[in-house]
Amino acid sequence: MGRSPAEPPDAPGTGSGIGSGVRSGVLSPAPSPSPGLRQALRQRRYLRTAWPWRATLYLLTSVPLGLATLTALLLLAVAGSALTVVLIGIPLLLTLVLAGIPLAALERLRLRLTDPRPLAPAHREPDGTGLSAWLRTRLQERATWRELGYALLFALVLWPLEALAVGTALVVCCGLIAAPVMLAASGGEEARVLKIWLIDSYPPAVAALLAGLVLLPLFAYPLGVLAAGRAALTRHLLSAPEPGLDSRIRELGRSRMRLVDAFEAERRRIERDLHDGAQQRLVALSMTLGLARLENPAEPLAGLLAKAHEEAGVALVEIRELIQGIHPQVLTDRGLRAAVEDIADRSVVPVDTDFDLPDRVPQAVETAVYFAVCEALANVAKHSGAGRARVSGRTERGRLVVEVWDDGTGGADTRGGTGLQGVADRISVLDGHLLVSSPPGGPTVFRLQVPMSPADTRT
């Protein structure tokens, strides 16, 4: 609907609710988070805000907390060292190591006085339940030791410096401001301001009062800078460290293994669907066509039925080969040794097998090695001109080692389009290696080495 001529147009940026936002076409920016102490120090109105008081409170609360931390660390260290000989001191020393954890939790709360941004804990969830799992996880974390170091730094260095800074500012300002009161308390005779300045009349006392009132806001800036620096140091020491290169490499390896497992699961699903679906329908179709041929129909129809029956048989053979190539059932049911023996029996080149393996190896290793052996035997049949081949497998120092040997002409090359580069890539995902020795004139040896976790090896 059009706007009435008497209706004024919307002013830019006016209106409320969702409708006005749609009409104007411009969304108002989200409110920015509250600035921290560092940002407030750059503003001219800093002294008129609550930040000077929050900075002073942040520094003041360090004093009792630092005293308590120093006392606790000394008691735990002395008592734990003295009682270690009777084994009672071991829990005390363990508590000393973990003392930085509760202190870090309190420091994360105190940081809200200077910075509204929350500081997330640097610890991860334990691997299991119970006290032992929690202790094992905490003692293995770098964050626990960083927090212990922060506790020592806080107890021995930081809070005394903060107490000295805040105490100096308060003593100087309060001492000057209290000069008239001190003079009146002495009967108007004389008073010593800050232990260094002797006054005997009210004009100097009033001058000291004015000086204290002037210095009070001036001290707010250095105290604010000190509190901001102290908060930045705390945030740096207690924040979760960025993942290093080693952890990123480990996570990349784990993600690759997850992709391999997902890929193999999808292969098995496709194989199962073809086996239970399309293959069974082709079998039923072939049987139906065979029964139709037995009915002795007319001669033209009999020829068509015979041709259809033959085509159904060819399609059934092809889909069985496709299922075998996707994921052989013998590999799932009986393991690597039986699967390799099966492809050796079907090879056009005579193949001997010699395996000394556990009953089953990890599933991802089985699948990768099986298809690598398939590719190697296919190359033997197509390119080597060999009269005989041999496949052997064994375990060496936690690694599965499989060799494919043939007496052919040699000259195999991973860059020659024989699929060996794909085998090498597949094995490398499992942190394995493919070594090829194929001098001109032969023989050719393909050697696969794949790590095999001892926990997954069942004898």
pLDDT digits (tens, 9 = 90+) for 207-255: 888 888 888 888 888 889 999 999 999 998 888 766 555 556 666 666 5
pLDDT digits (tens, 9 = 90+) for 17-47: 333 333 333 333 333 445 688 888 888 888 8
389-396 and 433-437 beta bridge pairing: unpaired
Q: Which of 166, 189, 192, 137 is nearest to 66 (CA)?
A: 166
For residue 324, the model assigns a pLDDT of 56
For residue 108, the model assigns a pLDDT of 92
pLDDT digits (tens, 9 = 90+) for 160-183: 999 999 888 888 888 888 888 877
Please check whether residue 337 is in contact with residue 393, taking contact to mean a CB–CB distance below 8 angstroms: yes
Confidence of residue 298 (pLDDT cuts 50, 70, 90): low
Residue 404, Cβ neighbours under 10 Å: how many?
Answer: 24
Instruction: Give DSSP secondary structure letters for 115-155.
Output: --S-----PPPPSSSSHHHHHHHHHH-HHHHHHHHHHHHII
Helix (H, G, I), strand (E, B) or coil at 361: coil
Helix (H, G, I), strand (E, B) or coil at 356: strand
pLDDT digits (tens, 9 = 90+) for 34-84: 568 888 888 888 888 889 889 989 999 999 999 999 999 999 999 888 888
Helix (H, G, I), strand (E, B) or coil at 9: coil
Pair of tokens at residue 130: 């119970």
Please name the helix (run of DSSP H) or strand (run of DSSP E) that holds residue 314, with its range, or none.
helix 299-326
Task: Output the furthest CA–CA distance in the chain (Å, rounded).
Answer: 143
For residue 174, the model assigns a pLDDT of 82
- Phi, psi of 129, deg, nearest 5: -105, 160
389-396 and 351-356 beta bridge pairing: parallel
**pTM for the full predicted model:** 0.50
Least confident of 139-153, 272-286, 438-452: 272-286
Hunting for tokens 């784990």 — which residue is that?
254
- How far CA 148 is from CA of 96, 143, 145, 155, 289, in Å, comes to 8, 9, 5, 11, 81
State whether the Cα torsion 218-224-226-227 is positive or negative.
Answer: positive
Confidence of residue 259 (pLDDT cuts 50, 70, 90): low
State whether the Cα torsion 334-335-337-343 is positive or negative.
Answer: positive
Helix (H, G, I), strand (E, B) or coil at 446: strand
User: Mean of the pLDDT values across residues 186-195?
Assistant: 74
Question: 83-97, 111-125, 154-168: which has the highest mean pLDDT?
Answer: 154-168
443 cis-preceded (ω within 30 degrees of 0): yes
Helix (H, G, I), strand (E, B) or coil at 351: strand
- How far CA 416 is from CA of 367, 383, 413, 419, 445, in Å, comes to 24, 11, 5, 8, 16
Counting Cα atoms < 13 Å in the Cβ hemisphere of 449 gives 9
Q: Quick one: how many helices (H) and strands (E) in the chain?
A: 17, 7
How far apart, in whole angstroms, are the C-alpha atoms of residue 89 and residue 66?
24
Residue 360, Cβ neighbours under 10 Å: how many?
Answer: 16
Please check whether residue 383 is in contact with residue 418, taking contact to mean a CB–CB distance below 8 angstroms: yes
How far apart, in whole angstroms, are the C-alpha atoms of residue 383 and residue 261?
32
Residue 44 DSSP one-character state: G
Pair of tokens at residue 121: 């804990």
Pair of tokens at residue 16: 């409320």
Instruction: Give DSSP secondary structure letters for 383-441.
Output: II--S-EEEEEEEETTEEEEEEEE-S-----TTTTSSHHHHHHHHHHTT-EEEEE--TT
Q: Which of 184, 107, 101 is nearest to 137 (CA)?
A: 101
User: Mean of the pLDDT values across residues 400-421?
Assistant: 76
What is the 3-state secondary structure of 205-268?
HHHHHHHHHHHHHHHHHHHHHHHHHHHHHHHHHHCCCCCCHHHHHHHHHHHHHHHHHHHHHHHH
User: Which residue(s) pair with 193 in the sheet?
Assistant: 197
